[in-house]
Amino acid sequence: MGIQKSAGILSAILGLIFIIFPMFSAEFVSLIVGLSLLFFGISSAFMGFNMRNHMNTYSTITIIIGIIAIIFGFLFIFYIDALSFLIGLQFYIVGIIMIVFGITGLLSQMTRFSKFTSVLVLIMGILAIVLGAFSLNQPIYIAIIIGIVLIIEGISMILE
C-alpha cells in the first residue's frame, strides 16, 4: 500500500473520530481543533511536496496553506493565553484556510475527481464561516466540519 493511500486512510479515520466523538469542553475542543488543523496542515504540505514536480504554483500554495494550518494547529493545541482571542475565531480561521485550499484546487490542473473534492472543501469552508457567525458559543462544530474535510481528503487520496 502506498504512502498516499495510508495517509488517506489515516485522514478518513481521524475524520470519523472527530465526528463520532465531539467534545464538550472549550479547552478540549481547542485541542481537537489544533490537532485537526495540524493533521490538515501536514496532509496539505505533504500533498504539496508530492506535486511540486507536476504543478509548481499549486504545490507552493498548498505547502504554504499547510504550514499556516500547522502553525495555527500548534497555537490551538498549546492554548497560548496571549492568543486566546483566536479561540472565538476558530471557525473563521479554519473556514478561510479551507476556502483558499478549495479555490487553489479548482484553479489547478488536477483530475476531475480532485476538482470535485476542491468544491466540497470550498463549500465546507463557506459553511465554517457561516457557522462561525451563528455559533461562537459552540465551537464544537468546528471539529465536526474538519472531520468531514478529513474524510473527503482521505477518500480523495485513497481513490487517486
The per-residue pLDDT for range 49-77, each reduced to its tens digit, is 887 777 777 788 888 888 998 998 888 78
Q: What is the mean pLDDT of residues 76-93?
A: 64
Q: Which residue has the higher pLDDT, 17 or 87?
A: 17
Which residues lie below 8 Å from residue 124, measured CB to CB, with a gap of 6+? Answer: 98, 102, 145, 148, 149, 152
Output DSSP code: residue 21: S
Q: What is the pLDDT of residue 140?
A: 65
Q: What is the pLDDT of residue 82?
A: 43
pTM for the full model?
Answer: 0.52
Q: What is the pLDDT of residue 135?
A: 62
**Residue in 51, 59, 135, 52 with CA at minimum distance from that of residue 94:** 135
- Cα–Cα dist 38/22, whole Å: 17
